[in-house]
Structures are given as structure tokens and as C-alpha cells.
A and B are shown apart, each in its own frame.
Chain A
Amino acid sequence: MSEAHSAEEVQKHVRMYMYIFGTLLVMTAVTVAVSYLNLSIVPALVVALVVATFKGTLVARYFMHLSGEKPIIFQFLILTAVFLVFMFILFIWALSDQRGVASYVS
């Protein structure tokens, strides 16, 4: 993403950054507003995670220039994501399939 950027292209980018900024603010408002609805845990969790993932993706895609980034960077991120997902899944599984856990949490 360096080198061959004309001034015009960067101007276009700047406009895009502003749109993204606006969207992020709206999504922040949404997530706060939803929290005041006092939803039960599962829908609240889903909304919170969907909104957060959406916001995170916007930041990564536009501010971190991941759209149009080189394949090597994606390879790192995919590898990391795979291990991260394994960690989450196995930790959750580990907790639910563990004898004697009840005595820890009493």
C-alpha cells in the first residue's frame, strides 16, 4: 500500500475514512442502545459480538488497509485465526467436559 498512490487516490481514501468513521460511531450507539434493552444473555451476546466483529472488520479492512493487502499478510492472519479459534473451542470444551469442576465453582 505504499509507493504508487496518487494524491487523488489518497483524497478518495480520506473520504472513505470519513464514511467509516460515521458508521463506527453509529454502531457504537447501536451497541450501547441495545444494552439498555436488557435482553437475556444469549441474544445480548450475539448482538454484542456481531456488532463488535463488524466494527473490528471495518477498522481492519479500511484503516489497516487489509482490503488489497498482499497474500502473505493474510496467510499470517489465517494461521493465527485458526489457532485462536482452536484455543477458544478447546477451552470451552475443556470446561464443559471436566469432572470435578462443580467443586471448584461451588
Chain B
Amino acid sequence: MEIPYTVHPRPDTGVTNAKVGIWLFLASEIMLFGGLFSAYIFLRMGAPEWPGTTMSGHYYASASDILSVPLAALNTVILIASSVTIVLAWASLMTNNFSKYRIYMGLTILMSFGFLIVKSIEYSTKFEHGLFPSESTFLAIYFVMTGLHAIHVIGGIVVNAYLLGPGAKMWKTNPTQYTNRIEVAGLYWHFVDIVWIFLFPTIYLI
């Protein structure tokens, strides 16, 4: 017996197994980042000053004095754009246009790398100025939360690269399931995007 509803949705729930699975996984991810955000709230509300008095010998009045808002805004745009391309990649498969799909998926992966490159520029500038996570709670929160987000970006790159590379064989044998997989990978990627949409203002801007 084969496992049912891997390709076509179950009639009474109206969804496939993979769809249920990814949303449950995302629910747990919401609680993961939710836990970090509540830690952030807890520490920030308990702190006498934010982002903190002196770090590595300098006084910083606001988060945007320490962190680079333009770079983070650039990263926001990159990530939103990659969200658009991955949904367009799925739409191309829906219209049976595999070559267009490959372009969009490739663009998504390229932009993910772009995001990481910008991120690493940010990190290394901080390190050059002696701003390490051990300097203050603000920097600790910044590095850990963006770091964990970056790990999720890397995870997305691995999945998307697999689907574009070796995983693409499935398009020949079972196009419906392959399209479903791209949709599921897209759902994860949009979630990573949403996390960043919340991280950007809460860490950089306020």
C-alpha cells in the first residue's frame, strides 16, 4: 500500500500531507521566533537604557547609531524580491513553463546569497569596531536573532538549490508533486521573509 494524499489533496481536509506538514512546521517556527521575541521584550523592558550605555568605549543613543539602517533596508528589499521570485517560480510551473521556472528559482537563490553577503558585511563592520555580542545585551540580541534568521536563510538556500538541481528530475516523472514541493518550499521561504519583516523594525529602527 502506498501512502495516500502525497500528490492529491485529501477530500475532507482539502490539502495534501506536505501542506499540513509544512504549516505545522511553520507553527513551531512561529513559537521559536516567538520565544526569542519574548526574550527580547523581557530583557528590553528590564533594561534601564536601550541600546545601552557605552559599548567598546562609545556612547550610542539609539539602535540606528550602532546598526546600519540602509544595509538592513537593502536586505529587506532583497528578501521581499526573492519572495516574489519564488512565488513566480511556482506560478511558472503552474503554467507548465519549466525554463521560466528555472530562471526565477535561480534568481531566488542568487538573492538569498546576496542577503547573506550584505549580512556578513554588516557583521564584519561591527567586529571591526569592537562591537561583539559580549559587549551588551542589545548586541547579544542583535547577533543571536539575526544569526538564527541567517541560519534559516541558509536552510532555505539548501532546499531551493536541491529542488532546482537534483530534485528537478521529478518534474519529468511527477509534475504535480514537484509543483507542490515548490509551493511548500515557497511557504517556508515566505516565512523567513516575514520573520525578517518583523526583525528589521524591532531591532534596527526602534
Contacts and interface: CB of A to CB of B under 8 A. Distances in A.
Any A–B CB pair closer than 8 Å = yes
Contact of A14 (B34, B35, B48, B91): B91
B80 A70 contact: no
Given A2-B183, A35-B69, A17 B87 contact: yes
B159 to A, nearest CB: 16
Contacts of B131: none
Interface string B11-25: 001111001100110
A89 B196 CA distance: 22
A17 B80 CA distance: 11
Given A49-B201, A70-B14, A60 B38 contact: no
Contacts of B34: 84, 87-88
A60 B19 CA distance: 15
Given A83-B31, A84-B31, A63 B186 contact: yes
Interface residues of B, number: 55
Among A52, A64, A104, A106, the one with the most B-chain Cβ atoms within 10 Å of its Cβ is A64
Interface of B: 8-9, 13-16, 19-20, 23-24, 27, 30-31, 34-35, 37-38, 41-42, 45-48, 64, 69, 73, 76-77, 80-81, 83-84, 87-88, 91, 94-95, 176, 179-180, 183, 186-187, 190-191, 193-194, 197-198, 200-202, 204-206
26 contacts: A2-B176, A7-B95, A21-B80, A28-B73, A31-B205, A32-B69, A35-B64, A35-B201, A35-B206, A44-B205, A49-B201, A49-B202, A51-B201, A52-B197, A52-B198, A52-B200, A59-B194, A63-B84, A73-B20, A80-B30, A84-B31, A87-B34, A91-B38, A92-B45, A95-B42, A101-B46
